[in-house]
Amino acid sequence: MTKSLMILIAGPYRSGTQDDPDLLRRNLSRLEKVAWPIFKAGHLPMIGEWVALPVLESAGVEDLSDPIAGQVMYPTAERLLQRCDAVLRLPGESRGADQDVAIARDRGIPVYYSLDEIPGAGLTQTDTIQ
């Protein structure tokens, strides 16, 4: 077993949704879909929205167009990247995910583009990224 890594899962969340709640949930579900294979490999998956959304809720933010959302969403990922050991960049257009990758590279944090690249987390027939 290799050292357990905290891996930030980065990919589209708001991109292309116009903040439609159903599309946001779909995108979050897509990010969460790869959490299990990462965990099963002995690592700790992390998604920025798992932290940012409860913070926004506690601040009384009900809509992502609220200016406070801009003060929380990207800064949350940047703070997480002070603690994360790697990033898994999922496919799809996302300014935030691209920013996460840039920060990771600047800090010398590995960036993976496939579960197969993560130590111990190779894809099986039931683990797919879509």
Q: Domain with 32 in it: what CATH number?
A: 3.40.50.10400
Query: Is residue 66 in some structural domain?
Result: yes
Separation CA 98–CA 75 (nearest Å): 14
Name the one residue in this structure whose structure tokens are 């609220």.
Answer: 66
Q: How many domains does the chain have?
A: 1
Query: Is residue 129 in some structural domain?
Result: no
Give tens-digit pLDDT for 100-112: 999 999 999 999 9
Query: Is residue 100 in some structural domain?
Result: yes
- Residue 82 CB neighbours (<10 A): 9
Residue 51 class from Cβ within 10 Å (0-12 exposed, 13-18 middle, 19+ buried)? Answer: middle
Read off the pTM: 0.90
- Domain range enclosing 102: 6-117
The pLDDT of residue 87 is above 80: yes
Sheet with 44-46: list strands edge to edge: 44-46, 6-10, 86-89, 111-112
Query: Is residue 124 in some structural domain?
Result: no
